[in-house]
Amino acid sequence: MLAHVFSCAVVGLDGVLIDIEVDYGQGLPGRIATVGLPDEAVKESKERVFSAIKNASLVFPRQPLTINLAPASVRKEGPFFDLPIAIGVLITSDQIDAEAIESSLILGELSLDGTVRHVRGVLAAAALSRSEGYKKLYVPAQDAAEASLIPEIEVYPVETLHQLWQHLNGENLIAPFKAGDLTAPEFEMPYTDFSEIKGQEHIKRALEIAAAGGHNLLMTGSPGAGKTLLARAMTSILPSMSLDESLEVTRIYSISDQLAAGTPLIRQRPFRAPHHTISHAGLVGGGHIPRPGEISLAHRGVLFLDELPEFGKRILEVLRQPLEDKVVTISRAQGAFTFPANFMLVGAMNPCPCGYFGDNMRQCTCPPAAISNYQKRISGPLLDRIDIHLQVSRVDYLKLSEQRTGENSETIRARVEAARQIQLKRFEGTKLVSNADMTPKEIRVYCQLDLSGEALMRTAMRQLRLTARGYHRVLKLSRTIADSAGEANIKSEHLAEALQYRQIEDN
């Protein structure tokens, strides 16, 4: 008897429907042939399936079997198909009625004792199940909460192969998993509260503006000035993610198998801080079958690059296109894969190799040529894509020792969210969510200057030698500063503040 069991393969960030066909073949008893472009993990599934069926007190047929994974043009990888292959074998040997899995999608890895293990990409499989009209989804029990994030399908948590066999035969039915309430994402305070950071008031102001508009930021200062601490406190003032954003980020982490146990939905904006030894593929994504890199894992959150000049030049230059397009496309022989990469870049660097160039307490020991070469590791085109440039000075003793705390993150975040609400209303009906996402079309409409503003910008273009990109980024930053002040129009003071964040670039 030919059995058809439907499952899912993950390609990029999307699920692809896989028809698993199991039939009796020819050859020696017990021979299992797997075809349909499987990788080694899929080829090995026949051994796991054999032991799982045996240890589940079921019968593995002695006749030779042929297993086809269609379509053959899609490469299948990983242990997704253990459970559906086992069900196909049981249907072929008349131990399960084929009608029991109608309108069902099945996936899961099998242990040798028949236990069903976690697999990655369950959220993509659930989305595929709904789009293809499959009403039932059988997944490992620990992945059921993740699958239930997609409405309009019944999710069945499967713990063992024997349990699923009983369910499909009408015995000891598995109850569908009940999804939790997703309407009100909770906010958990991450890392450091702004109230614990002493001094650096002008830096905190710039971080607030960056958070309000989603702007990129670079901090330069001597070691110990607080650059890393300020960057790690950034997520505490970012606005809470909407449900759609949470699902978008969760899908990326599910595909990358980086969802924390017991956390089916990511509610907090990501903060990624890769080490400077990271590879090209680790940062932007890649591999034989491409997976998301750090810039995609930072989607809707912060990508923090500490000691920025220590990153390889090739590594830094690949950031230029994602910073503009908000996506990264990786091309391979089997096709092109596009991953979202709409992140805030926060960089930190020392002004020179020893770290003390321009410091008011320690003398720099670097020769001028070494300072120049160190700073030139960050190319002009990359610097041009950074909206806010900050010089971070060391904090003096009086500020460090005082007991009084500053403004807390909750208060700052309230102002940031108010500014973001203005932007969401402004961009309603579009895919834009913040001022940093604006294209020249939106800039022309929403970033108009008055006569004094135009005169100031004309002077700044000449003195700061702004590029066309720099001009647009100053206007977008001015729009954010005006939104934070609750102003409908960009005034000269808003533009002046935005311009002062560009001056360091040309010093």
The model carries a pTM of 0.90
Q: Is the pLDDT of residue 413 over 90?
A: yes
Query: What pLDDT, on a 0 to 100 scale, did the predictor assign at position 505?
Result: 43
Q: Is the pLDDT of residue 240 over 50?
A: yes
Mean pLDDT for 375-396 is 92
Report which of residues 75 and 93 the model is more confident about: 93
Pick the most confident of 6-15, 134-143, 401-410.
134-143
Count of CB atoms situated within 10 Å of the CB of 380:
10
**pLDDT confidence band for 179 (50 / 70 / 90):** confident
Q: Is the pLDDT of residue 455 over 90?
A: yes
**pLDDT confidence band for 181 (50 / 70 / 90):** low
227-231, 334-338, 503-507, range with the lowest pLDDT? 503-507
Q: What is the pLDDT of residues 145-174, one digit of tens each?
A: 999 999 999 999 999 999 999 999 999 999
Q: What is the pLDDT of residues 290-324, one digit of tens each?
A: 889 999 999 999 999 999 999 998 899 999 999 99
State the pairing for strand pair 217-221/388-392.
parallel
Query: What pLDDT, on a 0 to 100 scale, did the predictor assign at position 183?
Result: 53
Query: What pLDDT, on a 0 to 100 scale, did the predictor assign at position 184?
Result: 45
**pLDDT confidence band for 25 (50 / 70 / 90):** confident
Contacts of 94 (CB under 8 A, 6+ apart): 1
C-alpha 389/C-alpha 140 separation (Å) is: 48
| Amino acid letter, residue 283 | L
134, 153 Cβ separation under 8 angstroms:
yes
Mean pLDDT for 336-342 is 91
Q: What is the pLDDT of residues 225-237, one digit of tens each?
A: 899 999 999 999 9
Q: Is the pLDDT of residue 190 over 60?
A: no
Hey, do 194-426 and 438-507 end up sharing a CATH topology, with the first three levels equal? no
Query: What pLDDT, on a 0 to 100 scale, did the predictor assign at position 100?
Result: 94
How confident is the prediction for the chain on average, in pLDDT?
A: 91
Q: Is the pLDDT of residue 504 over 50?
A: no
| Amino acid letter, residue 372 | S
Half-sphere exposure of 207 (CA within 13 A, CB side): 30
Contacts within 8 Å (CB) and 24+ apart, 286-292: 286/330, 288/332, 289/11, 289/75, 289/77, 289/332, 289/334, 290/12, 290/330, 290/332, 290/337, 290/339, 291/255, 291/256, 292/13, 292/252, 292/255, 292/256, 292/339
Mean pLDDT for 380-384 is 93
Q: Is the pLDDT of residue 188 over 60?
A: no
Strand arrangement of the beta sheet that strand 32-35 belongs to: 3-11, 14-24, 65-70, 32-35
Contacts of 441 (CB under 8 A, 6+ apart): none
Q: Could you tell me the CA-to-CA distances from 422 to 239, 360, 427, 430 in Å, in that order? A: 13, 41, 9, 14
Q: Is the pLDDT of residue 27 over 80?
A: no
Query: What pLDDT, on a 0 to 100 scale, did the predictor assign at position 286?
Result: 84
Q: What is the pLDDT of residues 274-286, one digit of tens each?
A: 999 999 889 999 8
- In sequence order, which ranges of 104-226 are alpha helices (DSSP H)? 122-131, 144-147, 161-168, 201-213
State the pairing for strand pair 154-158/136-140.
parallel
C-alpha 414/C-alpha 120 separation (Å) is: 36
Is 1.10.10.60 the CATH classification of the domain at 194-426?
A: no
1-15, 256-270, 492-506, range with the lowest pLDDT? 492-506
Query: What pLDDT, on a 0 to 100 scale, did the predictor assign at position 506?
Result: 41
33-47, 103-117, 339-353, range with the lowest pLDDT? 33-47
Mean pLDDT for 375-403 is 90
CATH architecture of the region 438-507: Orthogonal Bundle (1.10)
Dihedral (Cα; 144, 149, 152, 154), 10-degree rounding: 10
Q: Is the pLDDT of residue 254 over 50?
A: yes
Query: What pLDDT, on a 0 to 100 scale, did the predictor assign at position 507?
Result: 39
Query: What pLDDT, on a 0 to 100 scale, did the predictor assign at position 303?
Result: 97
CATH assignment of 3-168, given 3.30.230.10, 3.50.50.60, 3.30.365.10, 3.30.750.200? 3.30.230.10
Q: Where are the domains of the chain?
A: 3-168, 194-426, 438-507
